[in-house]
């Protein structure tokens, strides 16, 4: 089973990335979805009508990912965050955020792999995704490190305020906009502070740096860097009223298109001196 499974999975990834290259090209020639028509008909959020936001309740399962928690808070994923199938997550993140089908297959399949579950048959609870150093890692922008906050679903309000206050861009109406340079600077600062304060902090592997930059880059792509929207998503894990994905490509955000933002952000991450001293909880 082991070897067959590994070979199958490798072939699957070759298939996903060839498919992704094709979709990236098609996205370049096909017109974007019109504004107001990004969320597909028949899915929650169509026409800007998101299901009611109900904050998490005691006993609900939540995780370190604000985007997935927001889906549960709106009942797009089960509100209790439990018994979610990987295939269901694939279809729902695609309809909600307009990621390409390649991304929406690759990521849940990757998650199934590290949870040692079957992508096609099994289910998971949101909290399962927080397996430390699988995807979840220290030095992220919206969560204190595990050493300070073992519950990685806990929203780190001061970190998020720092992140959203220190932005340099402006949109056409003069509203604050996060730029790739801002995101690189914030990641650099977080890594420096984590290294300085967290006795268990280990320098991030290249994979974790890339994933970290990828997760953070959704703020620039899917959320268009709009600080007002990010405030709602990161602090309340709530989709803004009448929100839709800022990515309007016909087939959604492919790896081909996403990677250029991710690498730009990652390239800008530098060694900087730490800012905070001591335990961030005190």
Question: How far apart are the C-alpha atoms of 17 and 49, rounded to whole Å?
Answer: 33
Task: Tell the smallest beta-carbon distance from residue 74 to ligand HEM (Å).
Answer: 13
Can you tell me whether residue 80 is helix, strand or coil? Answer: coil
The span of 33-41, 181-189, 224-232, 239-247 binding ligand NAG (CB under 6 A) equals 181-189
Q: Which does 255 bind (CB under 5 to 8 A by kind): ligand NAG, ligand HEM, none?
A: ligand NAG
Binding positions for ligand NAG, 104-123, rule CB under 6 A: 107, 110, 123
In the structure encoding, which two tokens stand for residue 71, read together? Answer: 């889906």
Minimal CA–CA distance to 237: which of 72, 104, 97?
72
CA 138 remoteness from chain centre: 15
Question: How far apart are the C-alpha atoms of 89 and 170, rounded to whole Å?
Answer: 34
Contact flag: residue 76 with ligand HEM (CB under 6 A): no
Complex with ligand HEM: residue 7 or 161, whichever CB lies closer: 161
Complex with ligand HEM: residue 23 or 111, whichever CB lies closer: 111
CA 245 remoteness from chain centre: 13
Answer for the pair 102, 120: CB distance below 8 angstroms, yes or no. no
Q: What are phi and psi of 124, to 5 degrees?
A: -145, 165
Contact flag: residue 72 with ligand HEM (CB under 6 A): no
Task: Tell the smallest beta-carbon distance from residue 227 to ligand NAG (Å).
Answer: 13
Q: Which does 142 bind (CB under 5 to 8 A by kind): ligand NAG, ligand HEM, none?
A: ligand HEM
SS3 readout for 154-188: CCCHHHHHHHHHCCCEECCCCCEECCHHHHHHHHH
Would strands 176-177 and 169-170 be described as parallel, antiparallel, or unpaired?
A: antiparallel
Closest residue to ligand NAG, based on beta-carbon distance: 211
List 24, 218, 232, 249, residue binding ligand HEM (CB under 6 A): 218
Chain positions contacting ligand HEM, by CB under 6 A:
64-68, 89, 93, 97, 99, 107-108, 111, 129, 135-137, 140-143, 212, 215-216, 218-219, 222
Chain positions contacting ligand NAG, by CB under 6 A:
17, 20, 83, 85, 107, 110, 123, 135, 166, 168, 181-182, 185, 189, 210-211, 214-215, 218, 255-256, 259
């Amino acid at each position: 089973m082991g070897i067959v499974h590994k070979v199958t999975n490798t072939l699957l990834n070759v298939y996903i990335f060839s498919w992704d290259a094709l979709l990236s090209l098609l996205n370049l020639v096909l017109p974007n979805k019109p504004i107001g028509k990004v969320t597909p008909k028949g899915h929650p959020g169509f026409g800007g009508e998101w299901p009611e936001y109900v904050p998490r309740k005691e006993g609900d399962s939540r995780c370190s990912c604000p985007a997935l928690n927001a889906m549960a808070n709106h009942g797009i994923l089960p509100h209790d965050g439990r018994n979610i199938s990987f295939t269901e997550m694939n279809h729902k993140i695609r309809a909600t955020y307009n990621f390409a089908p390649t991304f929406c297959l690759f990521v849940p399949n990757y998650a199934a792999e590290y949870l040692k579950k079957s992508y096609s048959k099994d289910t998971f609870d949101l909290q399962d995704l927080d397996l430390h150093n699988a995807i979840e890692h220290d030095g992220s922008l919206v969560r204190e490190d595990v050493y300070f906050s073992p519950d990685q679903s806990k929203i780190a309000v001061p970190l998020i305020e720092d992140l959203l206050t220190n932005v340099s861009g402006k949109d056409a109406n003069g509203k604050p906009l996060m730029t790739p340079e801002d995101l690189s600077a914030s990641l650099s600062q977080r890594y420096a502070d984590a290294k300085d304060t967290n006795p268990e902090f280990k320098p991030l592997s290249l994979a974790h740096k890339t994933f970290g930059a990828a997760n953070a880059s959704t703020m620039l792509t899917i959320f268009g860097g709009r600080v007002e929207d990010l405030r709602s998503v990161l602090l309340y894990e709530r989709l803004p009223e009448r929100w839709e994905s800022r990515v309007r490509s016909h087939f959604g955000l492919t790896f081909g298109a996403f990677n250029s933002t991710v690498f730009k952000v990652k390239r800008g991450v530098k060694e900087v001196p730490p800012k905070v001293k001591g335990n961030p909880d005190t």
